[in-house]
């Protein structure tokens, strides 16, 4: 494993961090036995940073149980996040934080983030509730080692947030498709210039830059080097940059963990040639016309009150353009349960709007689900007609 120094405090951090939002599940419940094995394997492979959040269902508890059974708490860094929208008064900071310590089976958090801090105004509201003094108290007590924030939004607000507090680190969505989106390369370089470690989330953009990559974009990268997987291409783009301290990947299988760890054990700053960097630009050009809904499958929008599996609906919709309508319809029917008793498809949406403020990408989810419903319904009819035509010809 390659490690990069946190120049703010001297920590050596594995350049691959373990994102704990996508732990393996058995139906809706996290599979604790599989999670324990993944965490143990990750630490054996040299990963020393595990990132979770208060709002990831069951994640903090599962990580806490895994680390308790592993016995290596002092050797790794735990990161979790404060959902600031839940905090209406000063006492709420402790309510949330104490719950997190209990869930995580720990007395301290190594890297604590203000979750999805969106603007200087949001920080000012937290200041009015006394968060600065609260952070100072937790530092003095040894319960928080480093304080940072995670961010989804434009570059301008990100640069302003760098000035509102003496942060220890920051986390942004960053990958080669989003090089100029959100905080972007400009924001990453500015944070680095100020000495802040930068942790990159969504390095594979919810799988769009890995197993879900459209074939035409995939051919561009594999044509440049067929010995690398699309996931390796995506991770190497980040590791090539000295400004990126760590790439956070949500790994739910041992295969994903082994592959990503192997990449992080060989890729270093400056590992890409000019020709390889040019291939990324060609791949982005190929991708842009096929991604209709910029969903990263982060899951913040679910659970939906009516059970709509929003990320899956959007994934199927995007694949209907990149992989073909009939193939996407087949997937959509299977994964949203349209052949079973429980349906999680777009038609269940009642436009309640609960999901809208939760989406880091600012997607107009209700409107997009209507598009999914129209396209998939039309596609399903076409698929049935095509199948019926084949039957008629056979007869």
Q: Express each pLDDT in 91-143 by its tens digit.
A: 999 999 999 999 999 999 999 999 989 888 899 999 999 999 999 999 999 99
Look at residues 231, 254, 288 and tell me which one is the last residue of a structural domain: 288
Mean pLDDT of all residues in 256-270: 96
Residues 344 and 209 in one domain: no
Work out the number of other CB atoms within 10 angstroms of the CB of residue 277.
Answer: 12
Task: Write down the pTM of the prediction.
Answer: 0.80
Residues 334 and 275 in one domain: no
Q: Which residue is it, tokens 């946190």?
A: 6
Report how many domains make up the chain: 2
Contact 343, 373 (CB under 8 A): no
Residues 276 and 372 in one domain: no
Alpha helices by DSSP H, the chain: 32-44, 59-70, 91-104, 120-128, 131-141, 155-161, 184-193, 215-224, 230-239, 254-264, 274-288, 310-322, 325-335, 365-394
Q: Is residue 299 assigned to a domain?
A: no
**Residues 316, 311: Cα–Cα separation, whole Å:** 9
Residue length, the chain? 395
What average pLDDT does the chain have? Answer: 89
Q: Is residue 300 assigned to a domain?
A: no
pLDDT in tens, 74-88: 889 999 999 998 999
Residues 282 and 315 in one domain: no
**Residues 11, 3: Cα–Cα separation, whole Å:** 9
Which pLDDT belongs to residue 40?
95
SS3 state of residue 225: coil
Residues 29 and 142 in one domain: yes
**Residues 382, 395: Cα–Cα separation, whole Å:** 20
Domain harbouring 255, CATH code: 3.20.20.100
Q: Which of 221, 219, 251 is nearest to 234 (CA)?
A: 221
Residues 314 and 234 in one domain: no
Residues 55 and 170 in one domain: yes
Q: Is residue 302 assigned to a domain?
A: no
Which pLDDT belongs to residue 339?
52
Residues 264 and 336 in one domain: no
**Residues 326, 332: Cα–Cα separation, whole Å:** 10
Residues 168 and 22 in one domain: yes
Which pLDDT belongs to residue 340?
53
Residues 168 and 272 in one domain: yes
Structure tokens of 14? 């594995």
Cα dihedral 22, 24, 28, 30 sign? negative
Residues 209 and 350 in one domain: no
Domain range for 326? 310-394
Q: Is residue 138 assigned to a domain?
A: yes
Q: How far apart are the first and last CA of the chain?
A: 61
Share of the chain above pLDDT 70, in %: 92
Alpha helices by DSSP H, 177-214: 184-193
Q: Which of 100, 118, 308, 293 is nearest to 212 (CA)?
A: 293
Residues 131 and 266 in one domain: yes
- Residues near 221 by Cβ (< 8 Å), separated by ≥ 6? 228, 230, 233, 279, 280, 283
pLDDT in tens, 302-355: 889 998 989 888 888 887 886 678 767 876 876 676 655 567 888 899 999 999
């Amino acid at each position: 494993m390659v490690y990069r120094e946190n120049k703010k405090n001297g920590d050596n951090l594995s350049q691959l961090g373990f994102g704990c939002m996508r732990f393996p599940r058995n139906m809706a419940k996290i599979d604790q036995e599989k999670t324990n094995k993944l965490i143990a394997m990750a630490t054996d492979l040299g990963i020393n940073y595990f990132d979770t959040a208060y709002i990831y269902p069951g994640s903090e508890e599962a990580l806490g149980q895994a680390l308790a059974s592993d016995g290596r708490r002092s050797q790794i860094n735990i990161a979790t996040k404060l959902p600031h929208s839940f905090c209406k008064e000063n006492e709420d900071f402790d309510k949330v934080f104490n719950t997190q310590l209990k869930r995580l089976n720990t007395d301290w958090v190594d890297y604590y983030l203000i979750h999805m801090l969106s603007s200087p105004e949001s920080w000012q509201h937290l200041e009015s509730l006394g968060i600065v003094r609260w952070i100072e108290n937790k530092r003095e007590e040894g319960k928080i080692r480093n304080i940072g924030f995670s961010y989804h939004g434009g570059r301008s607000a990100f640069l302003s947030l760098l000035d509102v507090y003496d942060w220890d680190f920051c986390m942004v969505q960053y990958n080669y498709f989003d090089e100029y989106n959100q905080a972007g390369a400009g924001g990453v370089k500015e944070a680095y210039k100020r000495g802040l470690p930068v942790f990159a989330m969504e390095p594979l953009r919810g799988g769009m830059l890995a197993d879900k990559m459209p074939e035409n974009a995939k051919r561009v990268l594999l044509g440049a080097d067929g010995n690398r997987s699309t996931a390796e291409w995506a991770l190497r783009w980040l590791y090539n940059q000295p400004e990126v301290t760590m790439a956070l990947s949500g790994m739910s299988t041992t295969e994903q963990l082994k592959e990503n760890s192997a990449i992080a054990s060989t890729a270093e700053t400056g590992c890409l040639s000019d020709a390889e960097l040019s291939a990324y630009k060609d791949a982005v050009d190929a991708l842009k016309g096929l991604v209709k809904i910029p969903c990263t499958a982060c899951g913040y929008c679910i659970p939906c009150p009516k059970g709509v599996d929003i990320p899956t609906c959007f994934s199927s919709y995007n694949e209907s353009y990149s992989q073909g309508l009939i193939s996407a319809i087949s997937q959509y029917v299977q994964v949203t349960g349209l052949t079973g008793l429980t349906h999680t498809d777009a038609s269940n949406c009642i436009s309640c709007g609960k999901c809208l403020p939760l989406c880091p990408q600012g997607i107009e989810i209700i409107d997009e689900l209507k598009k999914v419903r129209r396209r998939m319904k039309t596609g399903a009819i076409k698929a049935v007609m095509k199948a019926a035509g084949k039957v008629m010809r056979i007869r």
